[in-house]
Structures are given as C-alpha cells and as structure tokens.
Amino acid sequence: MNSTDLSVLQSAVSWLKAGHPVAIATVAQTWGSAPRPVGSWLAIRQDGQVAGSVSGGCVEDDLISRVQTEILTRNTPEMVVYGVSQEEAARFGLPCGGTLRLLVEPRPELAILESLLTAISSHQITRRTVNIADGKSTLTPGNRNDEFACNDQQMCTTYGPRWRMIIIGAGQLSLYTADFALASDFEVIVIDPREEYAEGLHRDDVTFIKGMPDDALLELGVDPHTAIVALTHDPKLDDMALMEALKSSAFYVGALGSRKNTQARKERLLEFDVTQEEVERLHGPVGLAIGALTPPEIAISILAEVIAVKYGITVPKKT
C-alpha cells in the first residue's frame, strides 16, 4: 500500500469516528489511458472535503457533487462511470478518451476500516471483499500476488503494509539513500549504534534506531515488503545485520563493498549459521552497475536495484 492510499484510509477512519458521513470511491475498471490504476480510492466527506484521488483531478468535482446530493442518501454501493463517450471524456479531461468505472460506497463500515488499518499497521496483507448488493464487507488474510477483482456481485481489494527500507549505517551515503527511498514512497528506518552518527538523524521523516543492527532487525519484524541495505562498511556491523537479514523474508538484501570484499563477506557468513542458498540472496556490490561514483549516484543505483527486484525484474548477477 502506498502512502497516498494509506492516508485515505486514515482520513476515512478519522472522519467516521468524528461522526461525519463519508463515501469511499474505488477505481473498479479503466479503459484507455486512465490516470489512476484500479484499486485507487478516494474518501469524500459530506461537506466536500476529500482525501486521495481516482482520476488525478479530472472527475473529482463532479463526483463530490454527486456524492453530496445523491449517493450519501443511499444505503448500498453504486457503480459510477465517467467517459463513456468521446465527448464526455473530453468534458471531464480524461486523456485519450479514457473511461473510469468507480464503485462508490456511501456507508463504509467503521469497524471494518479500523480493523484494516490495524492489520496494515501490523504489516499484515489483508483482502477486503465488498458485497455490492448490500454494501457489507469482510476482511480475510491476503497474499501479495492477489489481484484486484470486481464484478456485479463483489469487489475484492488487497491491501498491504507500506514498503520499508531498513538502512544499516547512518553515514553520508545512507542519508542520500534515505532521501531517494522516501521519494520512492518507502518507509525508511536507519539503524546505527555509533554515537558519532546519531546527530545527523534528527529527522521527522526517518525512524532512527540507535542499537545493534541484528537485535533491531529481530525487534522490527522483517516481512516480504522490506528491503535491507547494509552501508556501514564496517564488517562488525554489516555482517551481524546480514546474518539476520538473509534468514528473513525481506524481498531484497544488499551490502556495500567491492567484488573482492563481497566474496570475502560471503565466505565469512558461511562460517556462521547461514546457508549457501541464503548467502546467494545477497546483492553485492549493492546497486545496479551504472558507473556511479559519488554518494548521490551510488544511492540512485541502490534504489534502482531495489525497485527492480520489488517489481520482479531480473537483475544481472555480479561476478
């Protein structure tokens, strides 16, 4: 789940708890060049306040008006379609004659949304199924490979925790990597026990843990939405972190170092309780080979490799 969709859920829960009537619109289907993918959602309060987007601003004004004057007076979800004709698509500013099919729920259940928010905060993947006939919804355990589905009977959407990047080390390269990770919508956690690096991490957008990396990783509860990057260049810290990281379900584990140092590191890890298969998960030297030299360039190469692995793109082996 990206930060935008998470903020929609948080706003909807907050508004409902405060007693405001709220409708939730979800992109159920698109044709043509639609600006927002299926599953994107928008929370609309009775007074016209909104959180999120379903079209990048093309149809929101009209949808808000329909919610205020019509949809909030009903008890069951309604399917709303924009851009059926070329003329209507042009009127609403949909690019290339795109069409949007939205499921609008005028009575989202607060208890369900609160449970969904709790599950996401606990890094659980959860599937929400909405019965279109009566508007009732249920939550079940989800899988990151679940696809969005919507038909005349129900809509099924899977929500997961935000993607996380855990950075071992708080040096200059780590700070650049954190900045690019934040820009790519990762939640960022930096771990470093060294006193001399603590001062540079007084930031609201990064969680800093001043502790031993292996202990911190165990306490954080690494999941398949987590990337771990070891950047201290200190084997005492990096290797301890990697011993836990390579045994975890993290989708990406990388470490800074030359090819020679990476090979030596792998040999060291094999002397401990780390299998050959687990060691082969290590991306090292960390980052795509783009000729990066400066800390910002290296940080870009790291994010590029992490994002490639995140989306299942094959990354060339470094030999």
Which whole number is the average pLDDT over 172-191?
A: 94
pLDDT at 273: 83
Beta bridge partners of 126: 141, 159
pLDDT at 29: 87
Chain centre distance of CA 22: 24
Which whole number is the average pLDDT over 86-105?
A: 69
Q: How many helices (H) and strands (E) does the chain have?
A: 10, 15
Element housing 110 (H / E): helix 110-121
> In the chain, which segments carry CATH 3.40.50.720?
164-310
pLDDT of 204 > 70? The answer is yes
Among 76, 75, 79, 39, smallest CA distance to 63 is for 79
- pLDDT digits 0-9 by tens, 240-256: 899 999 999 999 999 99
pLDDT of 86 > 70? The answer is no
Scan for tokens 């903020």, then name that residue. 7
Tokens at residue 238, please?
Answer: 């990096």
Average pLDDT over the chain, rounded to an integer: 88
pLDDT at 122: 82
pLDDT of 180 > 90? The answer is yes
Tokens at residue 156, please?
Answer: 């099924």
- Residue 192 confidence class, pLDDT cut points 50, 70, 90: very high
Chain centre distance of CA 205: 15
Which whole number is the average pLDDT over 130-134?
A: 95
pLDDT of 110 > 90? The answer is yes
pLDDT at 84: 53
Non-local (6+) Cβ contacts of 223 within 8 A are 123, 161, 249, 250
Which whole number is the average pLDDT over 143-163?
A: 87
**Which backbone phi and psi does 249 adopt, to 5 degrees?**
-95, 15
Tokens at residue 46, please?
Answer: 């009775």
Task: Compute the distance between CA of residue 39 and CA of residue 100 in angstroms, rounded to an integer.
Answer: 12
Beta carbons of 301 and 292 less than 8 angstroms apart: yes
Query: Which DSSP string do the residues of 292-317 spell out, in sequence order?
Result: --SHHHHHHHHHHHHHHHHTTPPPPP
- pLDDT digits 0-9 by tens, 6-18: 889 999 999 999 9
pLDDT of 191 > 60? The answer is yes
Q: What is the CATH number of domain 164-310?
A: 3.40.50.720
- pLDDT digits 0-9 by tens, 18-74: 999 999 999 998 876 556 678 889 999 999 999 988 876 668 888 999 999 999 999
The number of CA neighbours under 13 Å toward the Cβ of 128 is 23
